[in-house]
Chains A and B, each alone.
Chain A
Amino acid sequence: MTVHDMKHAASDSARLEAVGGRLSRVDGPAKITGAAHYAVEQQLEGLTHAVLVGATIAAGKVSGIDTRAAETAPGVLAVLTPDTIMPLNGASDWFGNPSPQPTFLPLVREVTFSGQHVAAVVAETFEQAVAAAALVKVWYDEMPAIVDLSDGKAGDGIPIDAMTKEWGDAQAAFAAAPVRICAAYNTPREFQAAMEPHGLIARWEGDELTVWEPSQWLDGMARTYAEWFSVPFENVRLVSPYIGGGFGSKALALAHSAVAAAAARMLGRPVKLVLNRPQNFTSYGGRAATRQTVAIGADRDGKIQSIVHRGVNETAVDGMWVEPLGSVTSIMYATPNFSSKQNVVRVNTVVPGAKRAPGENPSAFGIECAIDELAHELGIDPLEMRLINYAEQDPHAKKAWSTRQLREAFAAGAEAFGWAKRSPQPRAMRDGHQLIGWGVAAGTYPVRRAHGEAVVRIMADGSVVVESSSIDMGQGTYTILAQTAAETLGVPVERVSVKLGDSHFARAGVTGGSRLAGVMTGAVYKAAGQALDELIGLALSDTRSPFQKLQANTLQVRDGRIASPRGEGPEITIAELMSAVGRDHIEAKGDTLPASTTPEERYKNYTTIAMSIPHTEGEYSRHSWCAHFVEVRVDEDFGTVRVSRVVSALDSGRLYNPKLAESQWKGGIIMGIGQALLEEGVVDRRHGRIVNGNFADYMLPTNADIPDIQTISVGIPDPHSSALGGKGVGELAIVGIAPAIANAVFHATGKRVRDLPITLEKLI
C-alpha cells in the first residue's frame, strides 16, 4: 500500500534531510548556546549534595571511621558509612545472571582497590559536603596489594577457556615455518576520560525513583536500580537527555550511583552526587592493561602458515572483565593453522570496563604490529604483506563476509596518502633533524546487532514526534532518527522532533558496541512505516477524506503533502487530512523483534545483553573494516613523536549521515593517537594508587597534538548487517591506529616499540 521503499534512498542522499544526507546535528543549536541540559543539571526543589570518601589503601580492612567532626560541620545532613548506609539487594549482571551475593553495600569495609568508596557526606550545599568529607577520619588494616600485571604476586592468572580459538596444528606449523617472528606487545591501563564526569541526581517519591544520570543504557540501569531497592522496574525512571561522552563507561549503574540513590531514600530528599575528576579514575573501570605474544610463521614469499597468540588482561580481585585479545588476531589474515588462548589476572583495581572497541583495540595492536615485523623480516612492503594474506572469508567462523571493503580501503588510503613513494628502509626519510616514518595498519569491528523499539507519532499539525529510550552521547542519534522518520514519512526534517533519553519512552538496549544506529534506524523505519500506512489508509478509506472518492490504491506523501502518485485529485497537507478525518494524532510503536517474542523476552532483550545477535549468525560474518596510513615525525635527538598526517579509508557500510560519521571516525583516530603516544594510568607500587588520575597528568591529546585527518568512506550498503545497510561506525576507527603509529615510528627510527604509549624515553 505504501511507498516508503528505502531502496531509492542511497541515490537520494544529496538531499540533506534524507538518510545519507549531510544534515548538521539537530541537537546542535541547543549544545552551542548552552541550552542543552545534561542529566545532573536538573534544578530540583530541596536538592542536597553528596561527596564520597575513597579508600587510601588498595587492599585491607576499614578498622574504624570517625564521623563526629563531619557530622557537626555546618550544613551536614548525614554521614554514611558501611555501618549506617541502608543495605541493598544484590543486582543481576548485564547478562541477567543473578548476583552471587544476596546483599550489596555500596560503601565497603573490605577494600579491594584504592579509591573504593568507604563513606559519604550529604549536606545542604556542595561546598559544605566537600569540606565535611575532608573531616571524615578512616583507619585501615592494610594488606599487601597486587598493584598491576607486573607485580611479582600477580601470577599467571586464570585461563578463560571460552576465549580459546584453534584450528590446524599451530605449534607444529610455526616450528616448521621457514620464517618466524615472535614478540610481546603490551598496552597499559587506559581511561575513557569523558569530559562530563559520572554522577547523578536521585529522587524518591514514595516507592518511585527518578534518576537523572548520564547513561548509555537507560533500561539496563533502571533494572539495576529496581533490583537494588526491590521495587518494580516500572517504578524506576532514568532520564539522560544528553550525555557528555561515554566511550563505554556509562552503561552501568555503579557503586556511587547506589550511594546517591540510597542516601536519597534515607533522607527523603533528592541527592546529587558527582564524582570529582580523580574519582573518575577509580570509581569505574577503564581499559584493562594487556599483554600479548604473537608468533607468526610464514613461507619466504610471505604467506602465513601459522599464528600462535597468547594474551593476558588484568581484572579485579572481586570482579571479572575479559578483554577479548584474540578477536582481531583470529580474523584479519588467512592462515591454515591458528591458536589463541587467554588468561586473566586478578589485581587490586576497580573492575576494568569497556573502552572504545574493547578487545579489538588491543588485539589489533598485537597482530598489526606483528604482521609489520614479518614484512620487514621478509623485505616485503607492509601493505603488500597484508594483501598477500588477505582473508577471502572469515578464517575462524569459515563463513563468507557479508561485505568486506578492506582491499578497497587499502587501495583508496594508499592512493590518497601517496604510499607508493615510501622508501622501504627504516631511517630513509628525513626532514632536517626529524626522522619521517610511514606506517600502515588495518582495523575491524564486528557488527553487533540487537533489537529496539520506537514510537512515531504524527500530530494534528502535521509535525512528527519520535520517542525512544535510546540515547545520544555525540554519535548523532537525534539527527539520524529525524532523518529516518522524515524520509520514511515524506515530511521535512524540521517537522520531526526526536525525544530520547527517558526510560519511560519506547525501549532500547545498550548503546555500545557500535550497534545503536543500525538498531534504531531499523526501529524508527518500521514504526514510521506503520504510521504512514495508517495515515494513507485513513486518507483512502475515511468517508471524510477528500481522497476517499478517488478509488486509488495508494497515495504518496512528499514534503508533508499527500497526493495521488498519478497527480489526480486533491493535494493536501497532513494537517489538513488530520483535521478532515478528525484525528489529533496517529501513533505507531515499531520494534524489530519477531512477533512471537514474549513479554519476558522483551524485558530481557532491553535490560540485558543476553539477546544480542551474534555477528556470525546464519550464513555471514559481519564486520566493519578500515585501513590507516600514518606519517610520524620523530625528533632524532629527543625522541619526541608527532603524528603529522593521517589518511584512513573505512568501510562502515552505508552511512546514515556522512558528516556525523566522519566526525566519529576522526574522534576514534584521535583517541587512538592518545593511546599510541600519551595515555597510561600510572600505578604507585606502594599503595596501588593511580597517581596520574587527573587531566594534567593523564595526558589526553590536545588540539595541538592533532594534525589534519583525512577519512575516506569505502563502504557499500550491507543488507545482512542492518535494516538500512549500515555497519558500525563509532568504535571502528580507533582499531589499528596505535599499531599504524608504532609501525611508522619503526619506519622512522628503526626502533620497534611494543609497549604503549610510545614515549620519548623508549626511543632514546
Chain B
Amino acid sequence: MNDQVTISPTTLSLHLTINGRDHALEIEPRVTLLDALRDRLHLTGTKKGCDQGQCGACTVHVDGERVLACLTLAAQVEGRTITTIEGLADEGGTLNAVQAAFLEQDAFQCGYCTPGQIMSAVACIREGHAGSDEEIREYMAGNLCRCGAYPNIVAAVRQAAQELRS
C-alpha cells in the first residue's frame, strides 16, 4: 500500500525454448515463468499450488535441472532449454519411464501436484538421488502431495530408477 509505487507498462520481447519449440512472447518483465507458461502459452500442465516456492507443483526443468517456475521470471530463462510435463513423453507419445511408473504404481490421486512430482522425480533419478527409499523420500520432499500418494511416489521413483539403470 504505497502511493509511490509506479507501474511500468513496459513489455519485453522474449524468445523461450520450451519442449524443443521456440515461443515468442511480449510480456512485462515481472511475469513469472509459471504465469507465462499457463496464461500466455497455454501450457497448463505446470501447476500453480502456492506461487511462493513452497509446494513444488510448478517444477520444470531449465537446462535439465529442476526449477520452481513460480520463483523464476520468464525473462531469466531466455536462451535456455526449458522442459515441462508436456515435453516429457517422446514425440511418438511414448511415456517417460517415470510417467509410466506413476500410472502403474498409482502415484497420484487428484493429479494436481503430479506434473511437478514427475519433473522432480526425473531430475532426482538423473541427479543420482534414487539409490534407496530413504534417499528418494528425502530428495522428493520438496514436492507436497495432499492426497498422500507419497508411498506410491516412492515406489514409482524406485521402479523408474531401476528401469532406467537396466
Residues of A within 8 A of B (CB): 24-25, 27-38, 41, 43, 69, 73-75, 125-128, 131-132, 134-137, 192-197, 242-245, 247, 274, 276-277, 473-476, 659-660, 662-664, 666-671, 694-696, 700-706, 708-709
Q: Which 6 residue pairs of A and B lie closest in terms of their CB atoms, listed nearest first? A: A34-B45, A244-B112, A474-B109, A670-B148, A31-B111, A667-B148
A-B contact pairs, 8 of them (CB 8 A): A128-B7, A131-B30, A195-B55, A196-B112, A245-B109, A277-B51, A277-B52, A706-B148
Residue of B nearest to A660 (CB): B106
Report whether A195 and B137 are in contact in the complex, using a CB–CB cutoff of 8 Å. Answer: no
Report whether B110 and A474 are in contact in the complex, using a CB–CB cutoff of 8 Å. Answer: yes
How far apart are A698's CB and chain B's nearest CB, in angstroms?
A: 10
How far apart are B115's CB and chain A's nearest CB, in angstroms?
A: 5
Return chain B residues, CB-CB under 8 Å to A701: 148, 150
- Interface assignment of B43: CB less than 8 Å from any CB of chain A: yes
**Given pairs A131-B30, A666-B148, 6 additional interface contacts (CB within 8 A):** A131-B5, A195-B110, A277-B54, A662-B106, A694-B54, A696-B54
Across the interface, A709 reaches (CB within 8 A) one of B86, B114, B137, B151, namely B151
Report whether B118 and A32 are in contact in the complex, using a CB–CB cutoff of 8 Å. Answer: yes
Known: A32-B103, A196-B47. A473 touches B110 (CB 8 A): yes
Report whether A663 and B106 are in contact in the complex, using a CB–CB cutoff of 8 Å. Answer: yes
Return chain A residues, CB-CB under 8 Å to B103: 24-25, 28-29, 32
Across the interface, A474 reaches (CB within 8 A) one of B39, B49, B111, namely B111
Q: How far is the CA of A274 from the CA of B140 in the complex (A)?
A: 27
Most chain B beta carbons < 10 A, residue from A197, A660, A705: A197
Return chain B residues, CB-CB under 8 Å to A476: 109
How far apart are B45's CB and chain A's nearest CB, in angstroms?
A: 2
Residue of A nearest to B30 (CB): A127
Q: How far is the CA of A193 from the CA of B42 in the complex (A)?
A: 25
- Proximity bits, B1-42, A CB within 8 Å = 1, else 0: 111010101000000000000000000101100010011001
Report whether A696 and B52 are in contact in the complex, using a CB–CB cutoff of 8 Å. Answer: yes
Return chain B residues, CB-CB under 8 Å to A671: 146, 148
Known: A34-B85, A131-B7. A703 touches B35 (CB 8 A): no
Q: How far is the CA of A382 from the CA of B142 in the complex (A)?
A: 37
**Secondary structure at chain B's binding surface: helix, strand, loop or mixed?**
loop
Residue of A nearest to B28 (CB): A127
How far apart are B59's CB and chain A's nearest CB, in angstroms?
A: 12
Return chain A residues, CB-CB under 8 Å to B45: 33-35
Report whether A32 and B47 are in contact in the complex, using a CB–CB cutoff of 8 Å. Answer: no
How far apart are B26's CB and chain A's nearest CB, in angstroms?
A: 12
Report whether B154 and A126 are in contact in the complex, using a CB–CB cutoff of 8 Å. Answer: no
Q: Could you tell me how many residues of chain B have their Cβ less than 8 Å away from some Cβ of chain A?
A: 65
Report whether B152 and A666 are in contact in the complex, using a CB–CB cutoff of 8 Å. Answer: yes
Residue of B nearest to A668 (CB): B148
Residues in B116-151 with C-beta less than 8 Å from chain A = 118, 133, 136-138, 140-151
Across the interface, B1 reaches (CB within 8 A) one of A126, A135, A247, A708, namely A135
Most chain A beta carbons < 10 A, residue from B114, B118, B150: B150
Return chain B residues, CB-CB under 8 Å to A30: 111
Report whether B147 and A34 are in contact in the complex, using a CB–CB cutoff of 8 Å. Answer: no
Report whether B147 and A31 are in contact in the complex, using a CB–CB cutoff of 8 Å. Answer: no
Residue of A nearest to B113 (CB): A195
Q: How far is the CA of A610 from the CA of B43 in the complex (A)?
A: 41
- Interface assignment of B153: CB less than 8 Å from any CB of chain A: yes
Return chain B residues, CB-CB under 8 Å to A128: 7
Report whether B152 and A663 are in contact in the complex, using a CB–CB cutoff of 8 Å. Answer: yes
Q: How far is the CA of A206 from the CA of B39 in the complex (A)?
A: 26
Return chain B residues, CB-CB under 8 Å to A29: 95, 103
Report whether A126 and B99 are in contact in the complex, using a CB–CB cutoff of 8 Å. Answer: no
Return chain A residues, CB-CB under 8 Å to B30: 127, 131
How far apart are B32's CB and chain A's nearest CB, in angstroms?
A: 9
Report whether A700 and B109 are in contact in the complex, using a CB–CB cutoff of 8 Å. Answer: no
- Interface assignment of B161: CB less than 8 Å from any CB of chain A: no
- Interface assignment of B48: CB less than 8 Å from any CB of chain A: yes
How far apart are B62's CB and chain A's nearest CB, in angstroms?
A: 17
Residue of B nearest to A47 (CB): B39
Q: How far is the CA of A81 from the CA of B145 in the complex (A)?
A: 36
Report whether B3 and A475 are in contact in the complex, using a CB–CB cutoff of 8 Å. Answer: no
Across the interface, B110 reaches (CB within 8 A) one of A132, A244, A696, namely A244
Report whether B46 and A34 are in contact in the complex, using a CB–CB cutoff of 8 Å. Answer: yes
Q: How far is the CA of A134 from the CA of B137 in the complex (A)?
A: 39
Return chain B residues, CB-CB under 8 Å to A668: 148
Q: How far is the CA of A704 from the CA of B75 in the complex (A)?
A: 33
Return chain B residues, CB-CB under 8 Å to A34: 43-46, 84-86, 115
Return chain A residues, CB-CB under 8 Å to B3: 69, 135
- Interface assignment of B104: CB less than 8 Å from any CB of chain A: yes
Q: How far is the CA of A670 from the CA of B138 in the complex (A)?
A: 16
Residue of B nearest to A28 (CB): B103
- Interface assignment of B82: CB less than 8 Å from any CB of chain A: no
Report whether A695 and B118 are in contact in the complex, using a CB–CB cutoff of 8 Å. Answer: no
Report whether B115 and A670 are in contact in the complex, using a CB–CB cutoff of 8 Å. Answer: no
Report whether A243 and B153 are in contact in the complex, using a CB–CB cutoff of 8 Å. Answer: no
Q: How far is the CA of A124 from the CA of B46 in the complex (A)?
A: 22
Residue of A nearest to B8 (CB): A74
Return chain B residues, CB-CB under 8 Å to A24: 103-104, 106
Return chain B residues, CB-CB under 8 Å to A36: 111
Q: How far is the CA of A55 from the CA of B51 in the complex (A)?
A: 21
Return chain B residues, CB-CB under 8 Å to A702: 141-142, 144, 150
- Interface assignment of B67: CB less than 8 Å from any CB of chain A: no
Report whether A135 and B146 are in contact in the complex, using a CB–CB cutoff of 8 Å. Answer: no
Report whether A695 and B95 are in contact in the complex, using a CB–CB cutoff of 8 Å. Answer: no
Report whether A669 and B148 are in contact in the complex, using a CB–CB cutoff of 8 Å. Answer: yes
Return chain A residues, CB-CB under 8 Å to B118: 32
Report whether B49 and A196 are in contact in the complex, using a CB–CB cutoff of 8 Å. Answer: yes
How far apart are B135's CB and chain A's nearest CB, in angstroms?
A: 10
How far apart are A528's CB and chain B's nearest CB, in angstroms?
A: 25
Q: How far is the CA of A38 from the CA of B38 in the complex (A)?
A: 12
Report whether B147 and A245 are in contact in the complex, using a CB–CB cutoff of 8 Å. Answer: yes
Report whether A193 and B114 are in contact in the complex, using a CB–CB cutoff of 8 Å. Answer: no
How far apart are A435's CB and chain B's nearest CB, in angstroms?
A: 21
Report whether B85 and A242 are in contact in the complex, using a CB–CB cutoff of 8 Å. Answer: no
- Interface assignment of B71: CB less than 8 Å from any CB of chain A: no
Return chain B residues, CB-CB under 8 Å to A244: 47, 110-113
How far apart are B25's CB and chain A's nearest CB, in angstroms?
A: 13
- Interface assignment of B50: CB less than 8 Å from any CB of chain A: yes
Report whether A197 and B48 are in contact in the complex, using a CB–CB cutoff of 8 Å. Answer: yes
Q: How far is the CA of A696 from the CA of B54 in the complex (A)?
A: 6
Return chain A residues, CB-CB under 8 Å to B69: none
Return chain A residues, CB-CB under 8 Å to B68: none
Report whether B49 and A41 are in contact in the complex, using a CB–CB cutoff of 8 Å. Answer: no
Return chain A residues, CB-CB under 8 Å to B154: 703
- Proximity bits, B73-97, A CB within 8 Å = 1, else 0: 0000000000011101100000100
Known: A32-B108, A196-B47, A708-B151. A43 touches B55 (CB 8 A): no
Across the interface, A32 reaches (CB within 8 A) one of B35, B42, B99, namely B99
How far apart are B101's CB and chain A's nearest CB, in angstroms?
A: 10
Report whether A695 and B49 are in contact in the complex, using a CB–CB cutoff of 8 Å. Answer: yes
Most chain B beta carbons < 10 A, residue from A41, A244, A709: A244
Report whether A695 and B147 are in contact in the complex, using a CB–CB cutoff of 8 Å. Answer: no
Report whether A706 and B146 are in contact in the complex, using a CB–CB cutoff of 8 Å. Answer: no
Across the interface, B112 reaches (CB within 8 A) one of A195, A694, A700, A706, namely A195
Report whether A706 and B151 are in contact in the complex, using a CB–CB cutoff of 8 Å. Answer: yes
Q: How far is the CA of A34 from the CA of B133 in the complex (A)?
A: 26
Q: How far is the CA of A700 from the CA of B113 in the complex (A)?
A: 14
How far apart are A31's CB and chain B's nearest CB, in angstroms?
A: 3
How far apart are A739's CB and chain B's nearest CB, in angstroms?
A: 18
Report whether B85 and A695 are in contact in the complex, using a CB–CB cutoff of 8 Å. Answer: no
Return chain A residues, CB-CB under 8 Å to B46: 34
How far apart are A131's CB and chain B's nearest CB, in angstroms?
A: 5
Report whether A37 and B44 are in contact in the complex, using a CB–CB cutoff of 8 Å. Answer: yes
Residue of B nearest to A41 (CB): B44
How far apart are B12's CB and chain A's nearest CB, in angstroms?
A: 13
Residue of A nearest to B152 (CB): A663
Known: A33-B89, A703-B153. A137 touches B147 (CB 8 A): no
Report whether B1 and A134 are in contact in the complex, using a CB–CB cutoff of 8 Å. Answer: yes
Most chain B beta carbons < 10 A, residue from A29, A33, A37: A33
